[in-house]
Copies of this chain bind each other. A is one copy, B any other.
Amino acid sequence: MERSRRARQKPATIHDVARLARVSKSTVSNVIRDVPGVNPETRERVQEAIRTLEYRPNVVARQLVQQRTTLLGIVIGDLSNPFYAEMAKFVESFAAAHGYQLMFCNTQVDENTELDGIRSLIEHRVAGLLFLAYAGDAESARQAVGEQLPIVFLTCDAGWGDVVAVDDFAAARAGTQHLIDLGHRRIAYFADTVHEARAERARQGGYALALQEAGLTPSILRWHDRPQLVEAGGSICTIQTALTAPERPTAIFAANDLHAVDILDAADQASLRVPEDLSVVGFDDIAISRIARINLTTIAQPKEALARLAVDLIVGRIGGKVQGAHQRHSLPFTLLQRRTTGPSPAP
């Protein structure tokens, strides 16, 4: 048996099983799908045939006739950012619990790759699309997606589709306020140039508002050529220069933990003490931020709850249980005060 299977190359079909069990295809189908009302003896005969043929239902065929898949497309900004990897992991496990598989497309490289990926997802007729941040511009993605399937933006937002996220604006404001409360006057924002176009803007906006309310001047930092050069106020310099210049910031609010760790690293290399000389706040609370050597003050997002809600929502939309206008779910964030923030150094 084993030998003939290998020789035959092609996997057994429902038809092969039917023939071997001497029943019709429909009966086999009924057995597979656990439809009640199949004679126990027949059922046993069919199952026997399934076993000997090592039959596995062809989901592709089933999908075609049922006109739906149990596939969720997930568009990930950058898997090498542990925040996204952790989110993806949660999403995968909740999706699996609902009987959905994940097809994924990483979008790091460039916008065209991303659009190709999205198109491919659509052509595979994914039942829904989950965005975990994305690189391209909203409009082209929207066009590629079209109108016909549920979209959930998870920890990001493009103005169309459901949104499940924390209130980035409020969170950034709270993080910045924490620095202001510690007496800092020169607080820079370390922007993420690549990802989360909209969430990024919200965070930057929250930062700006907090500063404005305190009568302080915003100052934006971003990588120009990692890990050496940054752009600060329109000019390019090394990150060490930016951190040690006379008008240097005494505190930095980073768009995410990875950027915060970059700052920590640069501070170490510039012999700046954290938090005595420089305070740093991150965003995301990735695993590494918790270890003693990092101990990063950061805004924690409730990753598991976010992922669960996003999956419930998209599955609900797919099943028609959730209908109507786009929903916006805002989950609570937490400011985790650890050891990278302290009082502003004396001027």
Residues of A within 8 A of B (CB): 2, 5-6, 9-11, 54, 56-61, 63-64, 67, 69, 71, 78-80, 82, 85-86, 88-89, 92-93, 96, 101-106, 108-109, 113, 116-117, 119-125, 146-148, 261, 264-265, 268-269, 287-288, 291-294
Contacts and interface: CB of A to CB of B under 8 A. Distances in A.
A291 B147 contact: no
Contacts of A105: 92, 96, 101-102
Contacts of A60: 60, 63-64, 69, 124-125
A67 B123 contact: no
Given A67-B10, A291-B265, A101 B101 contact: no
Contacts of A293: 264-265, 268, 293-294
A54 B146 contact: yes
Number of copies: 2
Interface centre among A9, A69, A294 (most CB of B within 10 A): A294
Given A11-B148, A291-B265, A117 B96 contact: yes
B92 A124 contact: no
User: What 6 pairs between A and B have smallest CB-CB spacing?
Assistant: A85-B85, A268-B292, A79-B89, A265-B291, A59-B123, A293-B293
A9 B148 CA distance: 7
Nearest to A265: B291
A59 B124 contact: yes
Contacts of A64: 58, 60-61, 64
Contacts of A10: 67
Given A58-B64, A59-B124, A71-B103, 20 more contacts: A56-B122, A58-B125, A59-B123, A64-B64, A79-B79, A80-B89, A80-B287, A82-B82, A92-B105, A96-B113, A101-B103, A101-B120, A102-B104, A102-B105, A103-B103, A104-B104, A264-B291, A265-B291, A265-B293, A293-B293
A60 to B, nearest CB: 5
Nearest to A8: B148
B80 A93 contact: no
Given A124-B59, A146-B54, A92 B80 contact: no
Nearest to A74: B104
A105 B120 CA distance: 19
Contact of A124 (B80, B101, B147, B268): B101
A2 B142 CA distance: 14
Interface centre among A56, A57, A124 (most CB of B within 10 A): A124
A213 to B, nearest CB: 34
Contact of A93 (B9, B58, B59, B106): B106
Interface centre among A2, A57, A148 (most CB of B within 10 A): A148
B261 A291 contact: yes
A123 B58 contact: yes
Contacts of A108: 89, 93
Contacts of A294: 293
B96 A88 contact: no
5 contacts: A58-B64, A59-B123, A60-B63, A93-B109, A265-B292
